[in-house]
Structure 1
């Protein structure tokens, strides 16, 4: 896709949940020369070919997740930020404690890069590898511990060498790694087998701060999203535990409109709509 075509897959408006209510908001795309979008859309084109994300439906599932996880192609890292006062300097400092000793990076927000490092042929001491795996597994399913243990600062993990830190940080700021790690994760998680299922679109009308707005979902897209974000809920269709699924659907709908000839269901359930409702589709 050209730059203009790629931009059209990013919805003009998006939806997110805030304090139990839905917020409908404008989605702005930074096209500056050094922006995430401008630097990485060529590499995303390459990795979609490399990892066989090569049908319109596979691309729509991949982009529906990648666009939302990067906050509309605006950043390539996540992280729960905890602020506390430094006892020595009395200054407030920010700490990343989410998924310690790593937090998500790349276009599918890889939280555990160890397997990707192995895939790339990067080796480090087995004892350190075992220690990292143990730390990750200890905290992966324990949100209370992740959120409340203020000693879990990502940079304080013992044994992290400058080389390993540079590998990790490439997943955020490198030219190749943010997109390539997402392609790796696509394959590792088996997203393709879910993306290849029938996409039966369901129209969802939601009350938002800007009135009633519409997005589209399907069980195929749900499963493709769940397998990389919340695999334990793969068959618990539309579980509220999957973070940001409504927003993912906004990107999914735009990608479908640009990449496929599918029609969207109208308010009567008839497939008559050429484009998504609620002014989600960009024209340029």
Structure 2
């Protein structure tokens, strides 16, 4: 129901839709009236709630705006909250532009991975305390306490002293001297580090091939959560018409 409310909201001011909808998943009179108004404005005779083959869905999709407005981002990350969508929307748009994530298919793959990795923008820091990374030379964790200090942060998690150093050099910040938790506390950094990881690992190339498994493997090291990532990818591709 939230998805339909968001789609109708994107049509507000067009095709007879004038209602301002609460995005709460509760299908009341206002939502029903908005759907009826849209159908009437589009000359669609169908009634009631949508079925999978309903032509109303095709009409709603055809009328979606270009780009990634906040309502469309929320429709992709349907399990997110309005507050998190608002906080991360502009930083996400900036990262898409900065790192060349600039086609519907690339954007769809990026948003799908971010949705899974962050729990639809809910998490910007891994829940574990990072102790498991202590002494990991492959991550550059050579000093006592590095595992906890440089635990995973960001929408696609930055992990280990060496990776924090590399990202810091990229964005001209010193996360070894300053508090590395900034990467999770500042939405702009949490998003940017995900874009940087994407760019650094050449993931646009795999997204261009629509290869969910390879994109996932390069982020996760395996295929953990593949079904969940596929769920968000399907939503993003449909919404972005990619």
TM-score, normalised relative to structure 1? 0.52
Whether the aligned pair in 2 keeps the contact of 1:60 and 1:256 (CA below 8 Å) is yes
More strand by share: 1
RMSD (Å), alpha carbons: 1.9
**Can you give the 5+ residue segments of structure 1 that lack an aligned partner in the other structure?**
12-26, 81-94, 125-159, 200-219, 231-240, 262-284
Q: Distance in 1 between matches of 2:238 and 2:70?
A: 17
* TM superposition shift of 1:123: 4.9
Q: Distance in 2 between matches of 1:255 and 1:10?
A: 9
Q: Paired residue for 1:54?
A: 102
Higher RCO by CA contacts (8 Å cutoff, separation 6 or greater): 1
Q: Paired residue for 2:58?
A: none
**Can you give the 5+ residue segments of structure 2 that lack an aligned partner in the other structure?**
1-67, 134-146
Kindly provide the CA deviation profile for residues 17-52 of structure 1, in whole angstroms up to 9, marking residues without a partner as x.
Answer: xxxxxxxxxx3x2213xxx32211111011101111
Kindly provide the CA deviation profile for residues 48-83 of structure 1, in whole angstroms up to 9, marking residues without a partner as x.
Answer: 011110001101111111011111221211132xxx
Q: Distance in 2 between matches of 1:257 and 1:58?
A: 13
Equivalent in 192, 215, 218 of residue 180 of structure 1: 192
Runs of 4+ aligned residues of structure 1 deviating over 6 Å after TM superposition are none
Whether the aligned pair in 1 keeps the contact of 2:73 and 2:85 (CA below 8 Å) is no
CA change 1:75–1:123 in 2 (3 A) is: closer
Describe how 1:216-231 pairs up with structure 2 within 5 A.
220-230=211-221
Whether the aligned pair in 2 keeps the contact of 1:61 and 1:225 (CA below 8 Å) is no
Whether the aligned pair in 2 keeps the contact of 1:37 and 1:74 (CA below 8 Å) is no
Kindly provide the CA deviation profile for residues 193-236 of structure 1, in whole angstroms up to 9, marking residues without a partner as x.
Answer: 11111x3xxxxxxxxxxxxxxxxxxxx11111212221xxxxxx
CA change 1:259–1:118 in 2 (3 A) is: same
CA change 1:98–1:69 in 2 (3 A) is: farther
Kindly provide the CA deviation profile for residues 121-162 of structure 1, in whole angstroms up to 9, marking residues without a partner as x.
Answer: 3358xxxxxxxxxxxxxxxxxxxxxxxxxxxxxxxxxxx6xx
* TM superposition shift of 1:192: 0.8
Q: Paired residue for 1:256?
A: 237
Q: Paired residue for 1:97?
A: 131
Describe how 1:30-109 pairs up with structure 2 within 5 A.
30-32=81-83, 36-80=84-128, 95-99=129-133, 100-101=147-148, 102-109=150-157
Q: Distance in 2 between matches of 1:122 and 1:258?
A: 36
Q: Distance in 2 between matches of 1:103 and 1:38?
A: 26
Q: Aligned residues, how many?
A: 158
